[in-house]
Structure 1
Amino acid sequence: MDKERITAETTTERKTWLGMDGMQLREAGGTFTAKEIAQQPRLWKSTWALVNENKSALQAFLGTIFASEDMEVILTGAGTSAYIGSILRDPFQKGSHKHTWAVPTTDLVSHPHHYFQSDRSLLLVSFARSGNSPESVAAINLANALCKKAFHLIITCNTEGDLARMGDRPDCFVFHLPAETNDRGLAMTSSFTCMLLAGLLITRIDRIHRYEETVSRLADYGNRIISQYTQPLKDMASLDFNRAVFLGSGPLQSAAQESQLKLQELTDGKVICKHDSFLGLRHGPKVVIDPKTLIFFLYSNDDYVHLYEADLVKSILATEKGIGQIGISESPDNDLQATLGIYFSGYGEKIEEDFLSVCSVLPAQILAFFKSVNLGLKPDAPSANDTITRVVQGVTIYPYRADHIHAFNRL
């Protein structure tokens, strides 16, 4: 028995994640984060299988809700989870034919009267890794108290969280992702991409069978990034930069926002990051680019969108180009030059643009991991003074009374 255990432990030590073995990861304090980044392509396939398995139940739940003429949809979460809603707003509106908003729980809790209407019914779609954030629970309670009628679709990674426990209510459907998506590291990696993918698939639930091939392609893209670009990204992480700018358009703008948060979180704020759209950068924010700025371009696969992206990139490369650039695209583009070009595929076909947001965040996750190590931080727990924690701490939820709404309406 001891011999078998030693053999198993030795095999585990020899296995690598992001090019580092078990001992190296323990020494760097990055065991969970590295494994959680590397496992994503496999979990995307598991996520498709789970959504497909729950197809009938999801159709029954959502079909009844969307039959209501006065129904609105709010997609919500806090931090990284809120960015999922921003990417999904347009797909949800197209799929449901209902007015759809993407609003962070942090806004819903402080200004509920801006979003919850007593004469409207609501589907609140909540994304949550742990499901234990105070604002997540408060947003649901406020919706129930203030809306004409509130229903809840909860997409979560934690079967034991506060939100997951609401699954026995008739007005609530809880979709549980694979247990491995409940990241143990500080930064949300598997949880973000799998919750996002689940949302994208649920907006297409009536034709979910058509997307098995899309998800398989996504997994191929993810494996290509990890196998072919981990070392180049590690090399880029060694550059002496203290700022980073992430650019994306449409659904990829929120993917850029998530990417910048990963780098900022995993470097404990030692790298200050900003995100914007390609067109928006010219309207003032471009001034932040200096010689120690790393620039990320998250390219659309829409030819029309790419015209605007190409103009901006050429402008940057002709002026202040920073310390380096990373271009991320589905297919190679010989017209655009960057210090590092990352492309997912050589296929002639394209996947739908919003699905690109799932794999386009991987390069930033990988680079952020190595930048964290380079700075002497521990990627699993990079916040030296616990400025940020895995589940937010210190939030007081105050009671909200009906007279608050009346006072507001009298102003």
Structure 2
Amino acid sequence: MINTSFGYTLPELSERGAEQTAREIFQQPVLWREVGRTAVADRATNSAFLDPLLARPELRIVLTGAGTSAFAGEILAPALTRQLRRRVDAVPTTDIVSNPRECFAEDRPTLLVSFARSGDSPESVAATELAEQCLTEVHHLVVTCNPEGELYRRHTGTARSLVLLMPDGANDEGFAMTSSFTCMTLATWLTLAGSAVDDGLAARLAVAAEQVLATRGAAAGELARRGYGRAVYLGSGSLAGLARESALKLLELSAGGVVSYFDSALGFRHGPKAVLDGSTLALVYLSNDPYTRQYDLDIADELRRSLGTGNVVAIGAGDRDGLADLDLWQIDGLDDVVDAALALPLVVCAQLIGLHFSLALGRTPDNPFPSGAVNRVVEGVTIHALPPQL
């Protein structure tokens, strides 16, 4: 399954502690097709739960999770707000747990969409409980990869909950969330976006991801061998959330060996641009929205002039117009999809980059922190009881 163009054989990946992560990156097109088939098969059941809620104009939708799971919400929230024409907020569980009365200050009917690979992190369950405690009416859409997880067990079969369980292989064994993240993001878009989604979208995204996996491994390896000490990911709208996830993947897989940063295309000039130095790689995601794309092209050109052409990579589905001689990683056949969907094959590029940087630095991607300093499932969090409101 791992394409030979990636640059490492399976035995080499196994020897270097990277087999799980590589396998989970390369399996994504297969899993996305399964997610697409499941969404079609379960449409009637899911609609029976969701349609009455979405028909209520006062309903607030909150997308939540921790770390990578939270970034799924950041990618989806702008697109769902536009499609559903209602308030959709991305609020991490880490914010909900520490400040529940602020996150749920408005006591209005709420659909809490919880993303969780394992469903066992302390904040995952606590966020759902605090929503119940703070709100008069809350419904739950749980999106998870683990049928043994606490979140899955608590919400399966309950009247106010709908659970979307990802395919078996999506429960990543490696440290970094890869196929779990993309499957949960795709399943949620297919379930909530309604008429914006055609039944063939998952298959189209899978074809694009296969293209990335077949053609970009060598280029990612070349970037990793240049010895960059810093990397900046930029994007707009839904792709700002993708930039955040991409920066985290590089930081995690390199075990902090590469300092990574993220921002929006316009926000980067307002101070964060100070991160740039002679060892910086800049990667700019290009929006499919023609208006928004202009700002992405502007910052890409500015970075080209400050860092040099070879140190800036543009990644997107459109053509080369406005890119001068920049390196463009072009995704074919998706220039008509919303950015939230485009984010899925784009993040595969970031996953390949993160994996290659990790290997180039001599890290073990399946477990970049063998000392246990950072864990696959977060540990050490104490959930404190919320006192009654005065």
TM-score range, shorter chain: over 0.9
Tell me the residue number matched to 2:184. 195
Tell me the residue number matched to 1:3. none
2:134 counterpart of 1:178: no
CA distance in structure 2 between the partners assigned to 1:112 and 1:254 by the alignment: 23
Tell me the residue number matched to 2:356. 370
* SS of structure 1 residue aligned to 2:277: coil
2:149 counterpart of 1:168: no
Q: How does 1:175-324 map to 2 (within 5 A)?
A: 175-206=164-195, 208=197, 210-212=198-200, 214-321=201-308, 324=311
Letter of the 1:249 counterpart:
S
Deviation for aligned residue 1:277? 1.1
CA distance in structure 1 between the partners assigned to 2:326 and 2:372 by the alignment: 34
Tell me the residue number matched to 2:347. 361
Structure 2: tracts of 5 or more residues without a match: none
CA distance in structure 2 between the partners assigned to 1:215 and 1:202 by the alignment: 12
1:338-369, Cα deviation, whole Å (9 max, x unpaired): 66421111x59522232111111111111111
2:131 counterpart of 1:159: no
Query: How many aligned residue pairs are there?
Result: 389
2:383 counterpart of 1:397: yes
Deviation for aligned residue 1:17? 8.5
Deviation for aligned residue 1:27? 0.6
Are 2:40 and 2:199, in contact at CA under 8 Å, matched by a contact in 1?
A: no
**After the TM superposition, which segments of 4 or more aligned residues of structure 1 sit over 6 Å from their partners?**
none
Letter of the 1:201 counterpart:
L
Deviation for aligned residue 1:44? 1.1
Deviation for aligned residue 1:95? 4.5
Are 1:255 and 1:361, in contact at CA under 8 Å, matched by a contact in 2?
A: yes
CA distance in structure 2 between the partners assigned to 1:29 and 1:81 by the alignment: 24
Distance verdict in 2 for CA 1:156–1:17, change over 3 Å:
farther
Most deviating of 47-56 and 255-264: 47-56
Letter of the 1:172 counterpart:
S
Most deviating of 120-129 and 383-392: 383-392
Are 2:358 and 2:364, in contact at CA under 8 Å, matched by a contact in 1?
A: yes
* Residue 145 of structure 1, aligned match among 129, 133, 141: 133
User: Among the aligned pairs, what percent are the same residue?
Assistant: 37
Letter of the 1:162 counterpart:
E
2:88 counterpart of 1:100: yes
CA distance in structure 1 between the partners assigned to 2:354 and 2:209 by the alignment: 16
Deviation for aligned residue 1:278? 1.1
* SS of structure 1 residue aligned to 2:113: strand
* SS of structure 2 residue aligned to 1:158: coil
Q: Radius of gyration: which is bigger?
A: 1
* Residue 38 of structure 2, aligned match among 41, 47, 50: 50
Distance verdict in 2 for CA 1:337–1:160, change over 3 Å:
farther
CA distance in structure 1 between the partners assigned to 2:158 and 2:244 by the alignment: 34
Are 2:143 and 2:164, in contact at CA under 8 Å, matched by a contact in 1?
A: yes
Distance verdict in 2 for CA 1:264–1:337, change over 3 Å:
farther
Distance verdict in 2 for CA 1:183–1:16, change over 3 Å:
farther
Most deviating of 300-309 and 43-52: 300-309
* SS of structure 2 residue aligned to 1:73: strand
Letter of the 1:223 counterpart:
E
CA distance in structure 2 between the partners assigned to 1:96 and 1:332 by the alignment: 29
Deviation for aligned residue 1:22? 2.6
CA distance in structure 1 between the partners assigned to 2:52 and 2:293 by the alignment: 39
2:70 counterpart of 1:82: yes
**What is the TM-score of this pair, normalised by structure 2?**
0.94
Deviation for aligned residue 1:146? 1.5
Deviation for aligned residue 1:247? 0.6
Letter of the 1:385 counterpart:
S
Deviation for aligned residue 1:120? 1.9
**What is the TM-score of this pair, normalised by structure 1?**
0.90
Distance verdict in 2 for CA 1:343–1:120, change over 3 Å:
same
1:276-305, Cα deviation, whole Å (9 max, x unpaired): 111111111111111101111111122211
